[in-house]
Structure 1
């Protein structure tokens, strides 16, 4: 079982912590269990909202597949907030050096910066801290006014609720966007927000509606987008006519038919495979096209 280790500092914001914890906790309900662990330099960590939190004080043994996440804390400036001891900063560096992913929410980026993990990388943080952190870490590149940024297994997010977006993004990267869409829906996060990447998944981008019939059809397409899915098959699964399905699907997704939606999923998956070194022909067949011609047409059209 993979672990998510939350590093708690005094004054931690509850939503910075609870949002990602809820995402990874909900993933277990969909077949991807995570062990959630809460560590701190003190056994009791006061939160910004007054609720004391209990933490393990021993750093756990970690695998490169595990995630270490530093939630933010209440502090008007980066200079005046709490900080990790040098030994714990070294553990953040060691986990990343071993191939692990390190993430932060809001002012948690300060801990990553002090550990040297922002140098040479792009990052973001809460808009009120951007200028100060950029000045303190001139070797890092600040990306302003985005929800989250990923750079070489260092993932930073903006503030408070953006930790949910960050965690959903990490689920999508690890297990596929279909799982992230199911978790978002279970959490009633229908308006799943994108990060800085323009190619954020169509599975999530077109889920900002409340039509349960369309959600059920999208669930089916998400799980089987590489297979032939005739409109009649989708309509039967939804319990409506083909004409009704086309009408409600187009209205809910902002103009997409089920076929166009499926093609977007295939295109995005193919683009990912090509980005990982696959040949265009191989990527095309993997996502369900008979050959690369349709994939090339869709890429050119986009």
Structure 2
């Protein structure tokens, strides 16, 4: 998968570096990512004063590839970031052929110039939301959210929210476990949805800094369909069962067993949503029978931890 960053003069470093760090971490995990940096001119000044150098030549793009436009300095759209017709056409054509385009902060203006915001939900930094709505009246600007996804057009609020956007794209492509691993490597909270409660159990209960609990969650995440005695989890963490139970509860609000059950129920619900029978989904998720799944769904789904 290629991730192409389109750089505009006065680009904000964190708008670029946050998502770039996410995707480079995924690449380091061996998942076959290529990162490219392109611009209309090779020398790209940044808002923070560090000069960057990009390529004027775009790599070939396929439907699995992503083009991401980081934001740039400007109190209103139109002061910077005006793209040439050929660049706008590249963005529009990539999306038309089935590819994904994304933006951070003011980068939404680039997508607007390419006609990709018309009729779609989108967002940008809170200081620029009114300007985005004024400049692209056919767009449906969603205010005060981290990011918005609409038909392979992904826009984020800006600055650090670009990390959340990138983690969402990783979770969509590779699953929440990989996204959680990347978030842990980057020492950031893992968020999956920009405008709704987090739906992934793996991500929802990873917003802590307990290394002991993360190690146990790694074990449970990878083997939640199997029987996992508390003693074995404590050995994996290098602590006593009592210490593990206390630390796990403080970090997640759950017991290790409850966390495993939530993962099983979530997996079963996903399979049912894909057309599997309740019985087949129950067995695939690690339950002995469908009755146990039904009981846990009634007890756990929608209930407080």
Any unmatched runs of 5+ in structure 1?
Answer: none
Please identify, of 38-47 and 292-301, the stretch whose mean Cα deviation from structure 2 is larger. 292-301
Q: Look up the SS of the partner of 1:37 in the other structure.
A: strand
Question: Corresponding residue for 1:286?
Answer: 284
- Name 1:175's counterpart in structure 2: 174
For 1:259, the equivalent position in structure 2 comes to 257
Indicate if the aligned counterparts of 1:30 and 1:179 stay in contact, CA closer than 8 A. Answer: no
Matched ranges for 1:106-255 at <5 A: 106-189=105-188, 191-194=189-192, 195-253=194-252, 255=253
**Deviation per CA, 1:197-226, whole angstroms, max 9, x where unpaired?**
324422222222222111100111122223
Is residue 69 from structure 1 mapped to residue 68 from structure 2 by the alignment? Answer: yes
The equivalent of 2:266 in structure 1 is 268
Tell me, in whole angstroms, the C-alpha distance in 1 between the residues paired with 2:21 and 2:269.
Answer: 30
Q: CA RMSD in A?
A: 2.0
Secondary structure (helix, strand or coil) at the match of 1:266 reads helix
Equivalent-residue separation in structure 2 for 1:121 and 1:290 (angstroms) = 45
CA distance in 1, matches of 2:114, 2:228: 49
**Partners of 2:275 and 2:131 in 1: CA distance:** 38
Measure the CA separation in 2 of the matches of 1:119 and 1:186: 37
Paired with 1:296 and 1:121, the residues of 2 have a C-alpha distance of 38
Task: Give SS of 2:226's match.
Answer: coil
Partner-residue secondary structure (3-state), 1:264? helix
Q: Deviations over 1:65-119 (max 9, x none)?
A: 1111000000101132222212111111211122211111001011111212122
Q: Is the 8 A contact 1:38 1:55 kept in 2?
A: yes
Alignment partners' CA distance in 1, 2:211 and 2:59:
42
Which stretch of the first structure deviates more once superposed, 81-90 or 106-115? 81-90
Secondary structure (helix, strand or coil) at the match of 1:16 reads: helix
Residue 276 (structure 1) shift: 4.6
Report the CA distance between 1:128 and its aligned residue.
0.8
- Which residue does 1:16 correspond to in 2? 15
State the match for 1:97 in structure 2.
96
Question: Aligned partners of 2:267, 2:116: CA distance in 1, in Å?
Answer: 30
Aligned length: 299
Classify 1:277/1:87 alpha carbon distance in 2 versus 1 (closer, same or farther; 3 Å): farther
Give the distance between the partners of 1:98 and 1:273, measured in 2 at CA: 29
Q: Which runs of 5+ in 2 are unaligned?
A: none
Cα distance between partner residues in 2 of 1:298 and 1:188: 32
Measured in 2, the distance between the counterparts of 1:62 and 1:163 equals: 22
TM-score (norm 1): 0.91
Q: Is the 1:226–1:266 contact (alpha carbons within 8 Å) kept by the matching residues of 2?
A: yes
Q: TM-score, normalised by structure 2?
A: 0.91
Instruction: Name the SS for the 1:261 alignment partner.
Output: helix
Asked if the contact 2:168/2:191 (under 8 Å) is kept, the reply is: no
Q: Which moved more, 1:132-141 or 1:35-44?
A: 132-141
Structure 1's 293 and 151: CA in aligned 2 closer, same or farther, altered over 3 A? farther
